[in-house]
């Protein structure tokens, strides 16, 4: 996986910058646990296309990884609106589950 992030970073360094590249970097960094880097790239991806619900999903995961539960909730709520607008039912379901989990943790005082 690390080789992939290096290749993607090299593309970015050569001046390629678009939603898919930024999303791919953000997702790869989140999967590696590099949540700070993931957040930067996912926010950049969303600047290109704020309706890309899957990027909101991963941004929420990155925020959660950084201990930012309000940020995660905000990202997932934005993603939920985007997914509903696009008719992306799978992402709608996933984000509803993530938000419910946050609510349960908050209610339990976690």
Tens digits of pLDDT across the chain (110 residues): 568 999 999 999 999 999 999 999 999 999 999 999 999 999 999 999 999 999 999 999 999 999 999 999 999 999 999 999 999 999 999 999 999 999 999 899 85
- Segments making up each domain of the chain, as ranges: 2-108
Is the backbone of residue 66 left (phi > 0), alpha (psi -120 to 50) or beta?
Answer: alpha
In angstroms, the CA 22 to CA 72 distance is 19
Could you confirm whether domain 2-108 is CATH 1.25.40.10? Answer: yes
Helices in 33-68 by DSSP H: which ranges? 35-48, 53-65
pTM score of the predicted model = 0.93
In angstroms, the CA 12 to CA 57 distance is 22
Answer for the pair 53, 77: CB distance below 8 angstroms, yes or no: no
């Amino acid at each position: 996986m690390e080789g992939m992030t290096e290749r993607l970073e090299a593309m970015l360094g050569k001046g390629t910058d678009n939603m898919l590249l930024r999303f791919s970097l953000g997702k790869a960094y989140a999967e590696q646990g590099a949540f700070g880097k993931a957040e930067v790239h996912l926010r950049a991806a969303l600047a290109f296309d704020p309706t890309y619900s899957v990027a909101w999903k991963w941004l929420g995961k990155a925020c959660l990884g950084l201990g930012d539960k309000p940020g995660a909730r905000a990202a997932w709520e934005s993603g939920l609106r985007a997914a509903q607008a696009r008719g992306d039912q799978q992402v709608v379901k996933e984000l509803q589950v993530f938000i419910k989990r946050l609510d349960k943790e908050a209610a339990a005082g976690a």
